[in-house]
Every structure is written in structure tokens, then in C-alpha cells.
Amino acid sequence: MPDQPARTTKLGDGITAIDTDYVRPLLDASHLIVENGRAAFVDTGVNHSVPFLVDALHRADIDLSEVDFVFLTHVHLDHAGGAGLLMRQLPNAMAVLHPRGAPHMIDPSRLIKGSQAVYGEDAYRSMYGEILAIDADRILVVDDGQVIELEGRPLQCIFTEGHARHHYCLADPASRGVFTGDSFGISYRELDTVNGEFIYPTTTPVHFDPPAAHAAIDRIMAEQPRQLFLTHYSRVTDVERLAGDMHRRIDDFVTLALRHANDSERRTAMHRSMFRYLREQLQSHGFAGDEDRLHAIIDVDIELNTMGLEHWLDQQRQ
């Protein structure tokens, strides 16, 4: 058991959000789905998140042997870094992966190398530790639209690109919800105001694709969801407004990147512009926190988003 109990939020429909304690509280969520005594996780956080996920199972009176699936929306390490370690504790679970993501969990060497390139080796080691492979015979590779049943509860894998080419979302008709991974952006609960939830895209390296990102939002909305479960961070319900905000902010991020495409200090200029843009958007949304508080919440995303937009700019020139 962890030194502190898992921070969990029961969301109804057999769904519980678990704070994975990645980087800071309320940044990264795993979701536990329970149906008739059987369970599944959607995303896992990192290695040090695993005791929290196990604690949440115990508190739900679910045995480790009663977990049937670990759905990994994509293999970025804040979503799947702890999957190998978790799978070693779940004797009957299958890890459910996009066909482009599965090879990286069987042999995570390229995934590790790419993450070290983004974060640097020291930061990578501190955040992620040793990434454990998953045996190929414990991986279920899914097709677009494939339905998997959790004790009779249908869960449909929907391929969504734009953030990563190995990404799928998980539609859950029982809750009229969709587990969106990163395909519907980031919405932190600390940024909620009297005007509701605030959302913005995640354009991390290396697969940002604006047309595909727009298409992913439209495909999610085609499920007519009444709620969405984001990895960053958990449930949002004002889905029609948020979809419009996402479409607009994807375009705004592209405009921001193009404006700085030829700057000599491109990354620094883009970083400053993105912070200024989000600060202004949040002020209009009614966010009353000071600038230091805002930096503490969004700076990590701004850094990664800027790197992703830079990579996208470079790809346009090839």
C-alpha cells in the first residue's frame, strides 16, 4: 500500500477517478470501471502510481484477479508508463492497445529513448523509473470500432489521431461517456470557474496534426456523449461548448506557431505567447488566481506544447 491512500473520486456508473500523483496532484488520472464484480483500468499513470491503483481496487472490494483489462489510450508514459508494472500484479488482465502502440509496450526501448530526448535523462529517470515490458501474449491489439465487453458492458475502441498516431478513445454507452485520453485536450479542475470548465489542446511531440485533431473531436462528439473522462483531469460535462473551444484553440495554437516560425529564439517566443494567450483566455473565463498560481498549473503543458508545435513547424518545411 502507498504511504498515503489513493485520492479517488466516485463518478457514478461504476467509474472512479484515481489521482496517479504524476508531477503534482490533479494533473493525471487513471479511471477504474467496475461492472458486476469485474474491473478495468483506463490508463495507468507511471510506476509510482501503481500502488494507488491497487489501493483503489482494494477500497472497491475488487481482487487483483478480477481485473480483466488495462485500456491504454496511447503509450505516452504519463498514460502507460506504469502499465508493465501493473500488469505483473494483475494475473488475468489483458492490456488493450492500438496496433501502432502495442510494439512499444512489448519492447519499450524506442519509447524510452524518445522520452529521454524530450525530458532529458535525469528528469526522465526521476519521473518514470524503469519501464517494464508487457508480454506479447498479454496484449490485445484492437481494430478501429472494436467492441470489448467487460462482464457484459460494451466498451468500444475508437481510433483518434491528431495527438498521437497510436491513440484510441474508449466509448462507454452505459455511462454515455467517452474516455478520451489526450484527444479532447486538457481540463484541470483547478481552472474551473463559475463559467464552468476550461479546456485547451495538448500538442506534445511528435505527432501533432491539426486536421486530424479536429477530426478526433468530431468523432468523439459523434458518440453524443453526456460526459467525457479526460486523463488530464477526469470528468467534464459541458461537452458541446468544450468541443467548440477545442476547435477554436487548435486553430489558435497553429496561428501562434506560424507567427513565430522564423523567430531567432523561436521556442522562447512561443512559450511566452502561449502563456499570455492562455492567461488571457482564462481571465475571460473568470479565473481569479495570480500569475504564480497559473504558472504552477500550466507551465509543464506549455513547455511540451511548444516543443510539439516546433516539431510540427519543422515537418511542414520538409
What pLDDT does 115 receive? 79
Question: Does one domain contain both 182 and 271?
Answer: no
Pairing label, strands 168-172, 153-159: antiparallel
Residue spans of beta strands (DSSP E) within the chain:
8-12, 15-19, 29-35, 38-42, 67-71, 94-97, 139-141, 147-150, 153-159, 168-172, 177-181, 227-230, 234-236
Q: Is residue 1 part of a domain?
A: no
Residue ending a domain, choose from 247, 280, 296: 247
- Give CA–CA dist 253/203, Å, rounded: 9
Provide the CATH number for the domain around residue 38.
3.60.15.10
Question: Does one domain contain both 255 and 228?
Answer: no
- From residue 206, alpha-carbon distances to 21, 111, 127, 310 in Å are 24, 12, 19, 9
- Give CA–CA dist 311/203, Å, rounded: 10
Question: Does one domain contain both 217 and 180?
Answer: yes
Question: Does one domain contain both 137 and 266?
Answer: no
Question: Does one domain contain both 180 and 219?
Answer: yes
Per-residue pLDDT of the chain (318 residues; tens, 9 = 90+): 567 889 999 999 999 999 999 999 999 999 999 999 999 999 999 999 999 999 999 999 999 999 999 999 999 999 999 999 999 999 999 999 999 999 999 999 888 887 788 778 888 887 888 899 999 999 999 999 999 999 999 999 999 999 999 999 999 999 999 999 999 999 999 999 999 999 999 999 889 999 999 999 999 999 999 999 999 999 999 999 999 999 999 999 999 999 999 999 999 999 999 999 999 999 999 999 999 999 999 999 999 999 999 999 999 886
The alpha helices in 120-238, defined as continuous H runs, are 121-128, 210-221
What pLDDT does 2 receive? 60
Q: Is residue 155 part of a domain?
A: yes
Question: Does one domain contain both 288 and 165?
Answer: no
Question: Does one domain contain both 169 and 241?
Answer: yes
Q: What is the dihedral of CA 252, 254, 259, 260, to 10 degrees?
A: 120
Q: Which domain holds residue 122?
A: 8-247
Question: Does one domain contain both 280 and 237?
Answer: no
pTM of the prediction?
0.95
Task: Pick left, alpha or beta for residue 53 (phi over 0 → left; psi -120 to 50 → alpha; otherwise beta).
Answer: alpha
How many structural domains compose the chain?
A: 2
Peptide bond into 70 cis (omega under 30): no
Q: Is residue 304 part of a domain?
A: yes
Question: Does one domain contain both 152 and 272?
Answer: no
Question: Does one domain contain both 263 and 204?
Answer: no
